[in-house]
Amino acid sequence: MTSAKIKSLETAARKGSAKAQFHLYWLYFLGEGKRKNAREAAKWLRKAAMQNHAAAQYNLACAYDSGAGVAKSHALALRWYREAAKRGIVSAEFNLGVCFQDGEGVRRNLTQAVKWYRKAAEHGHAKAQYNLARMYAAGEGVRKNMPLTFKWIRRAARKGNARAQNYLGNLYADGKGVARSITKARIWYQRSIRQGNADARHNVKLLG
């Protein structure tokens, strides 16, 4: 980006353009056209987030989660994940599920974790689909239901999630939530192995 474009962006950001503020955040965060500066990046990110810029709200939540340019705060991360989720950011829905499952920034609540994982899962988020399936399998925050475990694990596996592919192999090998099939178990283990999953490599050996 040319210096003229950067100056134009800074002018727009100072005048209150959330889009420009978010763009300026990235320049400082990545060190492109600006000296890399996490605190300055967070300053512009917060300004955009305060104007309901959804992506800025999500990235600000992540900044508070990791302490990038701001004091680490799970409570503030939760706040901004909520705002981003309201505006349809699927990864924010997933991260809210993680917050409630792990009790980060909020009291641990598995029912709420299931709620947010389901929202993200229904929007096609593979990790949310995997986590939701595992909660159905364990009966955490929801009644244990192996057919629903299979449903969500298969969706995540088809999206290429290696852990889900391994777990789907387990379901087929054990006949849980689905008719037992060693052939299908082997197929899913092999798909997971191709992604470097060591558990799948061990499990396929157990099939003989």
Mean pLDDT of each 10-residue bin along the chain, 208 residues long: 89 97 96 94 98 98 97 98 98 98 97 98 98 98 98 98 98 97 98 97 93
pLDDT of residue 131: 98
Buried residues in 53-90 as b, exposed as e (16+ CB within 10 A): bbbbbbbbbbbbbeebbbeeebebbbbbbbbbbeeebb
**DSSP code at position 16:** T
* pLDDT for the residue 15: 97
Q: Give me 105's structure tokens.
A: 């920034």
Report the alpha-carbon distance of residue 99 to residue 182 in Å, rounded: 36
Burial 10-24 (b: 16+ CB within 10 A, else e): bebbeeebbebbbbb
- Report all structural domains of the chain as residue ranges with CATH numbers, in order of start: 1-88 (1.25.40.10)
List the one residue out of 97, 96, 67, 69 whose CA is nearest residue 81: 96
Question: What is the reported pLDDT for 3?
Answer: 87
Measured in residues, the chain has a length of 208
**Structural contact between residues 28 and 62, judged by C-beta atoms closer than 8 angstroms:** no
